[in-house]
Amino acid sequence: MAASTNELVQDVLESVKKQFKSITVEKDIEVDVDCGNLLVCDQNPIDIKLYRSNRNEFISSLARDNTQLLFNQIWKLPIHKVDDVVVAEIPDPQIRIPREKPVPKAKKLTKWQEYAELKGIQKRKRSRLVFDEETKEWVPRFGYKSKNDLKKDWLLEVPDNADPFEDQFAKKKGEKKERVAKNELQRLRNIARAQKSKVPGIGLIPKLQQSQDEVNQAFHLAKKSTASIGRFEEKLPKEIVEKNSRKKRKFEPTFGQLDKEKDREKKILNHILLGKPKLDIAKAVNKEMRDGEVVEDERESRRRQKGRGSKKALPKSVRRGNRGNKSSYR
């Protein structure tokens, strides 16, 4: 009785085993599993005869074995549940893959950003809508249909001290244009500072009503703007002349200084003949490889041309072949 129950148990176990197939895979060399990339690299040598006998089957079974090994590793990873979905946390990839762009460089701060850092000013996010007291409505802070939208005002008051014939609408539009232009200028200046390129000063902005300082500045600039940097200009009775404000560009005379010319030419020649050439080895090697391939292709094409096809397209010298030293064509 005991023997028969034992046998029964054995039978049941075997049937259960048959139901479930094994997940173990035997490999000669350990397979390289990279869970971060969901990657398996199998270095085991492939039996070519076996492969050739039945290609698709062989590759399918090989792929299945390797995928099984990958899945065995993945199922060992820590598992979370995110919104009723079973999810495994995969580690960082082991194999490093080249990036698409170089590592970003730290950007230079703008003038305002530097000041804000210094003072500890935090950036505050402003709401898009603002309550307008006049219309008792929520309007956007800027732009279309905002409180200071230029299209809105059908009526503008002329202030007491202003010219009655002045166009107030044009004046307001002009002021806005100036503000926009100033902002654009600041932005470009920040870019120039970031790239460390020199930007020329604005100079004098033409104005209708100039202050005394501005008139003074304009006067001095006009005086300097001559070929001799204001040296021979008429002086006012009590005017103070700046002594060291002269920085004139000097040009060498076009003829007459033979020694200097000789030296210059000698320097150039030495640089060409004796100077070390700047050789970019990597570039040269790459070029060599590419040229080698192109030359190979050309040679192959020439060989093929000689072998088959009509030679009517080729020049007569090639068709006749190399007769002595007549033809210069190879």
Partner 1 sequence: MHRIVKPKNKRSKRFLDAKESQIIENTKTAMFIRGSQTSDVVNNALKEIYIMKKPNAVMFTKKNNIRPFEDFTSLEFFSNKNDTSLFVFGSHNKKRPHNLVMGHLYDYHLLDMFELGIESFQSMNSFKNTKLTVGSKPCLVFAGELFNSDHSYKRLKYFLINFFRGPMVQNVRLAGLEHVLSFTAVDGKVVLKSYKTLLKKSGTKTPRVELEEIGPSMDLVMRRTHLATTDLYKRSLKVPKTAKPKKRKNISIDAFKTTHGRVHMEKQDLGNLQTRKMKALKRVREEKKQKEAAAKKQRTAAANV
Choosing from 64, 111, 306, 319, the residue that interacts with partner 1 (CB under 8 A) is: 64
Residue 38 lies near partner 1 (rule: CB under 8 A)? yes
Choosing from 42, 146, 189, 327, the residue that interacts with partner 1 (CB under 8 A) is: 42
Q: How far is the CB of 90 from partner 1 (least distance, A)?
A: 5
CB-CB contact of 155 with 146 (8 Å):
no
CB-CB contact of 92 with 39 (8 Å):
no
Number of residues that bind partner 1 (CB under 8 A): 69
Two tokens at 153?
């005002």
Choosing from 18, 52, 123, 238, the residue that interacts with partner 1 (CB under 8 A) is: 52
Give φ, ψ of 13 to 5 degrees.
-60, -45
Choosing from 1, 2, 3, 48, the residue that interacts with partner 1 (CB under 8 A) is: 48
Residue 85 lies near partner 1 (rule: CB under 8 A)? yes
Residue 39 lies near partner 1 (rule: CB under 8 A)? yes
Residue 90 lies near partner 1 (rule: CB under 8 A)? yes
The C-alpha R_g of the chain, in whole angstroms, comes to 43
Residue 70 lies near partner 1 (rule: CB under 8 A)? yes
Residue 267 lies near partner 1 (rule: CB under 8 A)? no
CA distance 143 to 149: 6
CA distance 261 to 255: 9
Interior/surface letters 282-312, b for 16+ CB within 10 angstroms, e for the rest: eeeeeeeeeeeeeeeeeeeeeeeeeeeeeee
CA distance 97 to 289: 25
CA distance 89 to 10: 40
* Nearest residue (CB) to partner 1, 68 versus 146: 68
**Contact region with partner 1 (CB under 8 A), list: 4-12, 135-143, 256-264, 280-288:** 280-288
Residue 222 lies near partner 1 (rule: CB under 8 A)? no
CA dist 180 → 94, 177, 185, 302 (Å): 52, 5, 9, 66
Residue 125 lies near partner 1 (rule: CB under 8 A)? no
CA dist 329 → 5, 311, 312, 318 (Å): 97, 15, 16, 7
Choosing from 8, 9, 12, 23, the residue that interacts with partner 1 (CB under 8 A) is: 23
Residue 82 lies near partner 1 (rule: CB under 8 A)? yes
CA distance 53 to 81: 46
Q: How far is the CB of 97 from partner 1 (least distance, A)?
A: 5
Residue 306 lies near partner 1 (rule: CB under 8 A)? no
* Nearest residue (CB) to partner 1, 272 versus 282: 282
CA distance 214 to 65: 86
Residue 68 lies near partner 1 (rule: CB under 8 A)? yes
**Contact region with partner 1 (CB under 8 A), list: 99-107, 118-126, 231-239, 318-326:** 99-107
* Nearest residue (CB) to partner 1, 70 versus 318: 70
Residue 180 lies near partner 1 (rule: CB under 8 A)? no
Give φ, ψ of 215 to 5 degrees.
-65, -40
Tell me which residues touch partner 1 (CB under 8 A): 16-17, 19-23, 37-46, 48, 51-52, 55-56, 59-60, 62-64, 66-68, 70-72, 74-75, 79-80, 82, 85-90, 93, 95-104, 107-108, 188, 190-191, 194-195, 282, 285-286, 289-290, 293-294
